[in-house]
Structure 1
Amino acid sequence: MTKRIHVLEDDEDIRYIIEVLLKDEGYELQLSSTFKELKSKLNDSVPDLFILDVMIPDGNGTDICDDLKNDPFTKHIPIIVMSADDQNKQKSLDAGANDYISKPFDIDYIVKRINLQLTK
């Protein structure tokens, strides 16, 4: 069965790179640029993994991670948080993130981290 990943990233270029990369790996993707958009898409289907950027227009990825991990509907879904500011790493892990990836990221590294979360 194809795994579905929901990517919350407001930077169009980064979102595009992740989309192409993960589609090439055989994943099904949902893409959002705002938390509001992510929440509306959850009504349609639930992903197998979330990838969250920290800095988005209508929220903070660590707060969103905390929100998703405290929601009975989504708390079981692994979350990878991405940020260009490594000061967000501990905040993300404290909020319940299963993994953290620093930007800029290596393409092979991000695929490896995603595969690790989806095979647990």
Structure 2
Amino acid sequence: MSYYLFPINAVSKQLSMWSNVSSILTILGTLTLWITFMIMGFIARKYEMVLHKETDWQFMVIAPSGLLLYALISAYAFIFTGSIKMNSIETWVAYSLFGISAILTLLGVYKFYKVVNPKRRR
């Protein structure tokens, strides 16, 4: 389908609308993921308090902070600069923080999994 069938303003308005929706959903999705991992850390804290087993819940609460920083950088690029995409420096910083946070969160969840499901002797 050719873009020549539509007026340029209609195409640019639709692109602008969908890019705005995409940016907002990215920010909301990242915040939802961050809140989920924070709740999981607090569940690990309760588990530690009740069963007196060390779960490293502090690590699980701090590890997903890169997700929050990614959301803040993305929100800054969307709201304050008004751009559809982050610039190259913002992109490198945001995705690096996101990746490091994902790895640290995975390690924290794995540690908690090992505490909750210990290996049984045969």
Query: TM-score normalised to the size of structure 1?
Result: 0.27
Q: Which structure has the highest strand share of the two?
A: 1
The structure showing larger relative contact order (alpha-carbon pairs under 8 Å, at least 6 residues apart) is 2
The structure richer in helix per residue is 2
* Structure whose CA Rg is larger: 2
So what's the TM-score if we normalise by structure 2? 0.27
